[in-house]
A and B are shown apart, each in its own frame.
Chain A
């Protein structure tokens, strides 16, 4: 049996769900002990926390079904993320093309996937018991759709479900789309498509793949997306960063028209114009092609934070701004600017603290590292507390595919707690996890090696999903 030791400088963490000590950070390698032999590239993670019981958490990544039984797996935790199990309940052949999940009420879990096999085949999924082993049900099935991204909110007794996607079936190249159900828990939930791009997309002929909804508990819904305006012969994208809002949750004939840009009086506030990046250019060994994250303050639906990526000079750079008037106006300057960074994720907790997660390439040449960081501010972005969660070599392991660490990471608030997920090199080296780390899979921190379930066979370093939790 492999020796299992604790990282140096890390005190024993309490295993009591959301009751982690205030300010303490918990980082967990999510690969369970029974999968200690796993060496897949578990990139592009997402996270969902059950609002009715925040100890119940579901996560996803590009982890293939360990058994190859024909269903794709999810990670589940019933103790607030301290321990995880993998079970394959997603109706897609061992893996998905994209996957994200979110909880509604009563423990219902909604998912959006690109199904395999299929050509950009969107399936919106649902289950009444995320922890069961029965496959999730398909409630929407449509092709020519990219990057489904799910959010849900229970209003009264009904689940409102919002699936952002880039729908190539949309006419006129205005592809940014929300699939909306105002009663997702119904027997045969009706989803309507709302096209949220109101402008032309020029030579691009489409919008960017990132269409990100954010839902306030009171029913206000925002969505942020890249309104592409051109796509050059050298794959350079020129784009606007657009935010739309609907105060009735999309329940009306002029859905998502609440925000109008003063420049053209069209719905959709242009938060940034003329943003550029190169489609598919590598940052470290991760492809880039735009990043967007948006979060709304649960205490005040008019306070909203937005992060997006674009070139600053030659550097792919994250920009973070906020609005306190429902997206009508935005901070003139960035609250945070992170060069050579990707995978922004945002959440605001019950105290109004905003948390900003990102993954940044630091150093040069052989010293390049992926550094995963959270920054928190409880004074509207004036001051920030920064914590590094992981700092790992960029070049190890060798990529199996793209995305290397994912086209997105995940962050969720639950009460005063932030729960998040990112993917990174899984070498059990405590010095690479400055906020501490706990492994479930067999490992040895002294020799920095991973072992199979037999405790003796060494396992190669790979990309694993890491859960983290911090209570404000």
Chain B
């Protein structure tokens, strides 16, 4: 059975109505031996903001093995980027002919559609999703010791007991969240703590920052990355997070992990929809297959197509 629009769109970063220009064989440096066609982008359905202006432009699409298109054919193309040079080269996940996609139009701006898919992925991998308010922002226990104490050790002493001095220091902070509602998760805490990087270093600047008083939907993970910096004799990594006293401690490191409160209802529907689908899957006789992320699929596709 041919894949649906929904199935293909979940594995593609760039989805567009296009018209096949030339199907004459052309040399594609990035994929020797592969067949590439020129496609005019008529209407972008889903894609990063940087590609919004491609409407009316030609792109090269490297077809997947066995995929066929005809000159002049109109179709919806599902693709991922391979190379940006003088032109844009895409690698096809597949395409659906125009007659099967009649009336298919983006419900929102292409970048918004893609962002929603990214949020959906974060929701699927989240340990807990809560709606609430940032009651306070504080230093985590590991950061409360003044730097002078740690770094003022005598030269003859053992290496100071603190995290390393690096330009990539996350500068961990903790946001204490008063939980109004749990959208995903088996527990029902009144409070959770989000450990977040206050750093503006390239490694961390995209991670959400939190300020007291703000409300939102928080998509949270128990993450190794947010663990207390190693101090000798103490638990580290996820064990340290798990062992932390008081409210549960999580991280929200992806840019999509903090969503505005107005999206609460929509996010709740996504979570409940996913839960219902998982329940149906569990009750069916077939073994459950974990859906691959777009990124995993893109990587696998690139490896297998060579």
Contact = CB atoms under 8 A, between A and B. Distances in A.
Contacts of A241: none
B53 A452 contact: yes
Contact of A120 (B52, B166, B303): B166
B88 A202 contact: no
Contacts of B205: 400-402
Interface of A: 32-38, 43-44, 62, 66-71, 78, 83-88, 93, 95, 97-98, 114, 116-120, 131-135, 144, 146-147, 166, 168, 172-173, 175, 200, 202-206, 209, 229-233, 235, 279-280, 287, 289, 399-403, 407, 440, 452-454, 457
A176 to B, nearest CB: 13
Contacts of A36: 53
B79 to A, nearest CB: 9
Contacts of B152: 203, 233
Interface stretch (B66-74, B176-184, B195-203, B257-265): B195-203
B81 A88 contact: yes
A381 B205 CA distance: 41
Contact of B53 (A173, A407, A453): A453
Given A70-B295, A70-B296, A233-B147, A37 B160 contact: no
B167 interface: yes
Contacts, number: 181
Nearest to B154: A203
A135 to B, nearest CB: 7
Nearest to B201: A402
A235 B49 CA distance: 40
A284 to B, nearest CB: 15
A85 B202 contact: no
Nearest to B114: A68
A86 B42 CA distance: 24
Contact of B84 (A66, A204, A206): A66
B151 A119 contact: no
B108 interface: no
Nearest to B56: A454
Contact of B82 (A83, A84, A87): A87
Chain B interface: which size bin?
35 or more
B203 A97 contact: yes
A34 B164 contact: no
B13 A67 contact: yes
A35 B81 CA distance: 11
A453 B156 CA distance: 60
A93 B294 CA distance: 12
A279 B83 contact: no
Given A132-B30, A203-B160, A209-B166, A84 B85 contact: yes
B274 interface: no
B53 A69 contact: no
A72 to B, nearest CB: 11
B299 A135 contact: yes
B14 interface: yes
14 contacts: A33-B86, A44-B202, A66-B81, A66-B84, A67-B51, A70-B296, A97-B168, A116-B203, A119-B225, A133-B302, A134-B302, A200-B155, A209-B167, A402-B200
Contacts of B306: 132-134
A67 B57 contact: no
Contacts of B81: 66-67, 69, 88
A400 B204 CA distance: 11
A265 to B, nearest CB: 20
6 shortest interchain CB distances as A-B pairs: A70-B295, A85-B85, A401-B205, A67-B81, A202-B155, A233-B148
Contacts of B159: 172-173, 205-206
B164 A168 contact: yes
Contact of A205 (B13, B160, B203): B160
Contact of B151 (A62, A97, A233): A233
Interface in B65-108: 80-88, 91
A452 B49 CA distance: 11
Contacts of A67: 13-14, 48, 51, 80-81
A121 to B, nearest CB: 10
B232 interface: no
A69 B166 contact: no
Contacts of B114: 68
Contacts of A93: 295
A454 B165 contact: no
A114 B168 contact: yes
Given A86-B83, A114-B168, 16 more contacts: A33-B86, A34-B86, A66-B50, A69-B294, A70-B295, A119-B224, A132-B30, A132-B306, A133-B83, A173-B159, A203-B151, A204-B151, A204-B165, A231-B151, A233-B147, A402-B205
Contact of B202 (A147, A402, A440, A454): A402
B153 A66 contact: no
B36 to A, nearest CB: 13
Given A116-B203, A233-B152, A402-B200, A85 B166 contact: no
A279 B165 CA distance: 9
A67 B203 CA distance: 19
A87 B165 contact: no
